[in-house]
Amino acid sequence: MSTQIPVQTQARAAAGRPTFGRTVKNYVALTKPRVMELLLVVTVPAMILAQGGLPNLWLVLATLIGGAMSAGAAGAFNCYIDRDMDRKMKRTENRPLVTGEISDRNALIFSWVMASLSVVWLAATTNWLAAALSAAAIFFYVVVYTIVLKRHSEQNIVWGGIAGCFPVLIGWAAVTGSLDWPAWVLFLVIFLWTPAHYWPLSMKYRNDYAAAGVPMLGVVRGRVTVGLQVILYTWATVAASLLLIPVAEMGWTYTVASLVFGGYFIVQAHRLYAHAIRGEAGKPMQVFHTANIYLSVLSLVIAVDALLPF
């Protein structure tokens, strides 16, 4: 594996010692904050649903802090392990390990510290089940997805995406100390949503992933196959979201919103497929952004529905 640093990276490293603010910004970037934000979005609604109302605010804050450290540690490990591939892709060429603004050694130490702190923090402030789930999430993302699947299987994001399902379990466990059926339904929704959300992105950045040797479905299969898979997973996601209605006794707010926004998500997936069968690139990022909006809205209405008195 080549670890040769590009010329532009050497130039940046030689430009001078980074300021404290720049260093902090680089370490934050190492945690993949956009991914972290998306994961935390689903944690609070899971806690509200588990409580059947507003949980203790300190418990919510403690769980979010622990979840942020857990997701951040997983992201940092991922950046460390994938640094060779990140140097070959345009969309990752500004990551701090690529630019040389953070050393490999410091990144690895940071990853281990964050991972350890997340488990200890959750054990101390919530319970051991939430802490164990945090450790499992990090292991799944780092070992199962990043090391085992990402470089070797076109189904990498399907099974590796399980790591992204853990925040709802962590939130539920923090409140109840157990894992009940609604928590597993939420887990299933995010599991099915992940490929429908990520594969359009792999279509957009197909050349990047191909250059890095990552066998994403968008690289090894044609647009028609990917488009069809996105449709199937989108329908499955919406169907799974409707399971929450009888399992968690959701009300009209959730029912209507999940049908309306789920329908919109499905329409966008079908449009992408329609473009693909006509040999057109379509707008995969529109599906990607729609998926993000769908999950955000679903999370919001889960919380709202649980808080309404009817």
Tokens representing 254 are 């959730």
Per-residue pLDDT of 295-304, as tens digits, reads: 999 999 999 9
Distances in Å between the Cα of 146 and the Cα atoms of 4, 8, 64, 126, 152 are 21, 26, 24, 28, 10
Average pLDDT across the chain, whole number: 89
**Contact criterion met (CB below 8 Å) for 212 and 88:** yes
- What are the φ/ψ torsions at residue 66 (nearest 5 degrees)? -65, -40
**Is the torsion defined by CA of 99, 102, 108, 113 positive or negative?**
negative
pTM > 0.85: yes or no? yes
Buried b (16+ CB within 10 A) or exposed e, 64-73: bbbbbbbbbb
Tokens representing 4 are 């040769």
Mean pLDDT of 190-213: 88
The residue that leads in pLDDT, 156 or 126, is 126
Angle between helices 166-176 and 181-204 in degrees, nearest 10: 160
Collapsing DSSP states into helix, strand and coil, what is residue 202? helix
Question: Looking at the chain, which residues constitute the CATH 1.10.357.140 domain(s)?
Answer: 24-177
The domain over range 180-310 is classified in CATH as 1.10.150.530: no
- Please report the pLDDT score of residue 235 as a whole number: 97
pLDDT band per the 50, 70, 90 thresholds, residue 16: low
251 Rama sector, left if φ>0, alpha if ψ -120 to 50, beta otherwise: beta
Per-residue pLDDT of 77-106, as tens digits, reads: 999 999 988 888 888 888 899 988 999 999
5 secondary structure, DSSP code: P
The domain over range 24-177 is classified in CATH as 1.10.357.140: yes
Mean pLDDT of 248-269: 95
Give the closest residue to 72 by CA, choosing from 29, 105, 106.
Answer: 29
Tokens representing 111 are 């990853």
Alpha-helical (H) ranges within 19-103 are 20-30, 33-51, 57-81, 83-86, 96-99
- Please report the pLDDT score of residue 159 as a whole number: 85
Question: Looking at the chain, which residues constitute the CATH 1.20.120.1780 domain(s)?
Answer: 180-310
